[in-house]
Structure 1
Amino acid sequence: MTKKYSRFTTTHKVRPDDIDMFNHVHNSIYLDYVLAARYEQMELYYGMSMEKFMEMGYGWVVQSVQINYKRPLGLGHLFAVETGIESINNKGCRVTFIITNLKNNKLSTDGWFDFIMIDLKNGRGVAVNQEMIDLYSI
């Protein structure tokens, strides 16, 4: 049986510096939106801020990412970033995401990130321990 993990949603608004020369959000900014949402969600929902995680000597780094662009976001659009852990393995986790334009409730982008847990002292990957699995298994 595959374990189910909780999903969380964070709402943001497109800012002027997010816009590219084609008058919509630059493709790289969507990745920033997901990372900002995860940063906020770690503290609000998992009870483990990134700062606390780092104090423990750990960090999360991106190993790979897949993003599918469906519809652009524009200046001033409110949008929701829904994220959740899809799976946890011995070295990290896969986090999936959906970004929805709240103006029309349509999908803007979706995809996933593969994160590796590292030891901040040496920058090398470390095994995800049971404490971390329990923490993120909500």
Structure 2
Amino acid sequence: MENPTYSTFETEHRVRPDDIDLFQHVHSSRYIDYVLAARYEQMEKFYGMAMEKFLERGFGWVVSSVQINYKRPLNLGDYFLVRTGIDSINERICRVAFTITNKATGKLCCDGWFDYVMIDIKTGRGAKIPEDVIAHYSV
């Protein structure tokens, strides 16, 4: 069976003063926050299935692993674009690929992926991703 092609979505943000580290550019940990914030917004805006819908069903998404490849820094006041899209999804893991690009220069700041697993909120343990969710997110 052929792997499906998934949509990519884009969210714009701006670097805030509290994102800046000792070296006067965005701290490496903030890039994780940027992707998580973009995904939260994109789940509702583009997929039509916000995080709250998962919580109502007793499910949550947690990050199990992250790969970030840093290319160049973002600085205070920079506007940037976070592009994300599902790379693959099955009953256990949803891999989301991302890029963060400086809006003014068009240059890539970093790229990588996040592996998300679904958990049962009551038990805190891993849960199978329901077929309807896999189908819904396969846009």
Distance of 2:53 and 2:133 partners within structure 1: 13
Query: 1:24 aligned to 2:17?
Result: no
User: 2:83·2:98 contact (CA, 8 Å) conserved in 1?
Assistant: yes
Identity %: 63
Q: What amino acid is aligned across from residue 108 of structure 1 in structure 2?
A: C
Distance 2:111 2:50 in 1: 24
| 1:121 Cα deviation after fit | 0.6
- AA aligned to 1:67 is I
Write out aligned runs for 1:21-100 (5 A): 21-100=22-101
Q: CA deviation at 1:56?
A: 1.1
SS in 1 for 2:81: strand
| Mapped partners of 1:44, 1:79: distance in 2 | 19
| Alignment partners' CA distance in 2, 1:24 and 1:3 | 37
Q: Using structure 1 for the length normalisation, give the TM-score.
A: 0.98
Give the deviation of 1:95 after TM superposition: 0.3
What do residues 46-105 of structure 1 show as CA deviations (whole Å, max 9, x unaligned)?
Answer: 111111211111100111000000000000000000000000122121000000001100
Aligned-residue Cα RMSD (Å) equals 0.7
TM-fit CA distance, 1:27? 0.2
Between the aligned partners of 2:46 and 2:82, the Cα distance in structure 1 is: 14
Structure 1 runs (4+) deviating above 6 angstroms are none
| Unaligned residue ranges in structure 1 (runs of 5+) | none
Q: In 1, Cα distance between the equivalents of 2:50 and 2:129?
A: 17
SS at match of 1:41: helix
Aligned residues: 138
Distance 1:52 1:136 in 2: 13
What is the CA-CA distance between 1:134 and the residue it aligns to?
Answer: 1.2
* Higher alpha-carbon deviation: 71-80 or 50-59: 50-59
